[in-house]
């Protein structure tokens, strides 16, 4: 077990968002968090990363309570990519090097520079290293922020809808990169997603949220037409095309 949530709940002043959320992931797991807008997907990621404080429950990272870890220690263990990124005027390399901030005391060491370069390589961004972020496409910028998270050398990636604003090519490319990194680096990923077909294609674990609660959780066996219709209020069928399961709304 690399990450565990036990009885996690969160309440905004106006409403309850999450109630009694329980799940675990291990190294190599790609967990897709699914549900309609307002189901609590983003809130769940923020509670795991301590951006929001749960009103009940605990988050364990390798058996350590997240709430008792320092901000620096959390940043070493968890790489978080928010749904919306602040635009900063910097080169791609410097943006990725920011991921080494939890480790840097006075200035970046040769090891920090090497790790930033490796993160660029993993995301196939070497040729963009000296370009400015505002010169890149949306898909390229998304890969940069994922590379920055990887430069933290985390055990866990938390990605909030990383493909939602991308075109089809970049959606597939970013999802493939996440899957490859999780597998090759043997880390865990918790990814909130809207695209059911991307999630079925790349994730190996699923958390279906409905009204702030877990409706279904598990492997591919929980991604049934009945469960999907119950969560999204849309009847669907699932067909295998070229050995790839595809969700088709009816």
What does the alpha-carbon distance between residue 21 and residue 27 come to, in Å, rounded to a whole number?
20
pLDDT at 87: 65
pLDDT at 220: 94
Q: To the nearest whole number, what is the mean pLDDT of the chain?
A: 92
What does the alpha-carbon distance between residue 24 and residue 201 come to, in Å, rounded to a whole number?
21
pLDDT at 167: 86
Transcribe the chain into DSSP letters.
Answer: --EEEEEEEEE-SS-EEEEEEEEEE-TT-EEEEE-STTSSHHHHHHHHTTSS--SEEEEEETTEEGGGS-HHHHHHHEEEE-SS------BHHHHHHGGGTTT-SSS--HHHHHHHHHHHHHTT-GGGTTSBGGGS-HHHHHHHHHHHHHHT--SEEEEESTTTTS-HHHHHHHHHHHHHHHHHHT-EEEEE-S-HHHHHHH-SEEEEEETTEEEEEESGGG--HHHHHHHHS--EEEEEETTEEEEEE-
pLDDT at 163: 86
For helices 138-151 and 168-185, angle between their N-to-C axes, nearest 10 degrees: 10
Torsion of CA 16, 26, 179, 161, to 10 degrees: 10
Question: How buried is residue 68: exposed, middle or buried, by Cβ count under 10 Å (0-12/13-18/19+)?
Answer: exposed
Domain boundaries, the chain: 3-249
Asked if 178 contacts 166 with a C-beta cutoff of 8 angstroms, the reply is no
pLDDT at 209: 97
In CATH terms, 3-249 corresponds, of 3.40.710.10, 3.90.1150.10, 3.40.50.300, 1.10.8.420, to: 3.40.50.300
pLDDT at 108: 87
Residue stretches of the chain with pLDDT short of 50: none
pLDDT at 86: 66
């Amino acid at each position: 077990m690399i990450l565990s949530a036990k009885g996690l709940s969160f309440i905004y002043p106006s409403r309850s968002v999450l109630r009694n959320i329980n799940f675990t992931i291990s190294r190599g797991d790609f967990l897709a968090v699914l549900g309609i807008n307002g189901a609590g997907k983003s809130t769940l990621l923020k509670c795991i990363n301590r951006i929001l404080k749960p009103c009940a429950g605990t988050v364990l990272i390798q058996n350590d309570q997240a709430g008792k870890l320092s901000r620096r220690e959390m940043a070493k263990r968890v790489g978080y990519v928010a749904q919306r990124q602040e635009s900063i005027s910097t080169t791609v390399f410097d943006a990725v090097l920011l991921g080494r901030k939890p480790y840097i005391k006075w200035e970046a060491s040769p090891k920090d520079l090497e790790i930033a370069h490796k993160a660029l390589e993993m995301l196939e961004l070497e040729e963009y290293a000296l370009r400015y972020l505002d010169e890149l496409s949306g898909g390229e910028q998304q890969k940069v922020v994922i590379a920055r998270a990887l430069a933290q050398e985390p055990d866990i990636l938390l990605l909030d809808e990383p493909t939602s604003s991308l075109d089809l090519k970049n959606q597939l490319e970013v999802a493939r990169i996440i899957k490859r990194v999780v597998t090759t680096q043997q880390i865990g990923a918790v990814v909130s997603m809207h695209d059911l077909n991307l999630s079925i294609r790349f994730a190996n674990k699923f958390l279906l949220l409905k009204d702030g609660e877990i409706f279904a959780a598990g492997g591919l066996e929980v991604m049934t037409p009945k469960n999907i219709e119950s969560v999204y209020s849309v009847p669907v069928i699932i067909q295998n095309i070229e050995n790839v399961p595809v969700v088709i709304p009816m």
